[in-house]
Amino acid sequence: MFTCPNGRGFDTEMLGKESPSVDTEHVNLFNPDSIQVLLRRSGFEVVHVETPGRLDVEIVRRAAIAEEIDLLRDPFWKRILFLEFESLGPEFQDFLIKNRLSGNLRVMARKS
């Protein structure tokens, strides 16, 4: 079992090189599909893949507040991240988890 950043994660996609996942510690950013290909080619059986992260929406929201990215002009993001954040933020985070779009990738595999 291991965790790593999800290269297709919401925060990584929205923040690009400013994402906390893009650093010298993570030379390659895997995603739910690519990590399965790597593991299978390496002789592992993939047992479970999920993106259980809980901070993606908050990370992007903080970046927008700090003006690291400009989302306030977009009515969609303005609504989710600011105007109705208390109700829509958690629901959007749940959507990211359900659709494997959260920034944290958790994988369970075993040697075949």
Divide the 112 residues of the chain into consecutive groups of 10 and give the mean pLDDT of each group: 95 91 81 97 98 96 95 94 97 97 97 88
Nearest to 23 by CA among 34, 11, 33: 11
**Could you give the CA distance from residue 112 to residue 109 in angstroms, rounded to a whole number?**
9
Q: What is the pLDDT of residue 28?
A: 82
- Residue 26 has a pLDDT of 72
| Residue with token string 């893949």 | 49
Does this model's pTM top 0.85?
A: yes
Position 107 scores a pLDDT of: 98
Alpha carbons 55 and 102: distance in angstroms, whole number: 8
pLDDT of residue 8: 95
| H and E: helices and strands count for the chain | 5, 3
